[in-house]
Amino acid sequence: MIKIVLKVTNCYLFETKAGYLQIDTGYEKDRALYLAKLKKNNIKLKDISYILLTHPHDDHAGLISYIVSENPDVRIIAHEKSKEILARGCNDTSVPGYNPGRIINFLLKLTYKLDKNWKLSFPAFEMRDTDIIVNDATGANVNILKDIGIKDAEIISTPGHCKGHISVVIGKHKIIAGDAVSNMLIWAGSEYVPLYFEDIGQIYRDWGKLLDNSNEGMIFYPGHGLEVPGEKLKSKIMALNLKEFPRQRLMPR
């Protein structure tokens, strides 16, 4: 596995017989940095055969259109609920979103105010007949990665962050979590919860689902920040009263 760290987003590449599988792409503004990181790893755009999107947000899907324009043979793997949002080229704001606490809510609002270019949008992308659609029927998603050469891997629906979000469990010890888990602003109280989410209860259920599909020693590879040992998330879940999630901490975006 090759980890490419962009300005705030982590991308992951896996080598297969048919070329590389890449997970997520970063912001559109990350293009130069992304290409430099590929070059540093001796990878060309044409070497990437598949791109799996964990979800259709600007910081994860921003370079899809560019990569496809440069490498039309690349096949995109995305959840069926991501299709419409990708075609629209804008994060879905129709569903109320929340932040994990007042400090993070304040910091995000301040960043949004100061960064005039942060519009939650990205170049629109229309899924093609050659691309691969994932649905919520977990069993049907096992063969998608197996067929392209990623053995012992499974795509898991994890919609707590947003609808259409998926994670990838590889070999029972490695979880590419996208924004199901975040390792940013821990000091501000994020507690590994993504800085934006639609359903805090579902976030914890997503963690439980991913942990159930893993062995001891599992590592979560988030879309933002450093790796997170599964034991940290397991401890967090055990400390919660799962019948009464801490909704009082949620602040509207």
pLDDT at residue 135, rounded to an integer: 86
Which residue(s) pair with 167 in the sheet? Answer: 156
d(CA 42, CA 66): 19
Q: Which residue ranges make up each domain of the chain?
A: 2-252
Average pLDDT score, the chain: 89
Torsion of CA 238, 240, 241, 243, to 10 degrees: -100
* CATH architecture of the region 2-252: 4-Layer Sandwich (3.60)
d(CA 188, CA 51): 32
pLDDT at residue 24, rounded to an integer: 98
Q: What is the per-residue pLDDT across 87-121, written as a single tens digit (0 to 9) for each?
A: 999 999 888 889 888 899 899 889 888 888 888 99
Q: What is the per-residue pLDDT across 196-252, written as a single tens digit (0 to 9) for each?
A: 999 988 999 999 999 886 667 899 999 999 999 999 998 887 777 544 444 434 444
Q: What is the per-residue pLDDT across 7-49, written as a single tens digit (0 to 9) for each?
A: 999 999 999 888 999 999 999 999 999 999 999 999 999 999 9
The answer, as to whether pTM is greater than 0.75, is yes
Sheet holding 166-170, edge to edge: 153-157, 166-170, 174-178, 219-222, 228-229
* Tokens (6 digits) for 35: 């290409």
d(CA 163, CA 193): 16
d(CA 143, CA 145): 6
| Amino acid (one-letter) located at 22 | Q
pLDDT at residue 137, rounded to an integer: 65
Write the DSSP symbol of residue 107. H
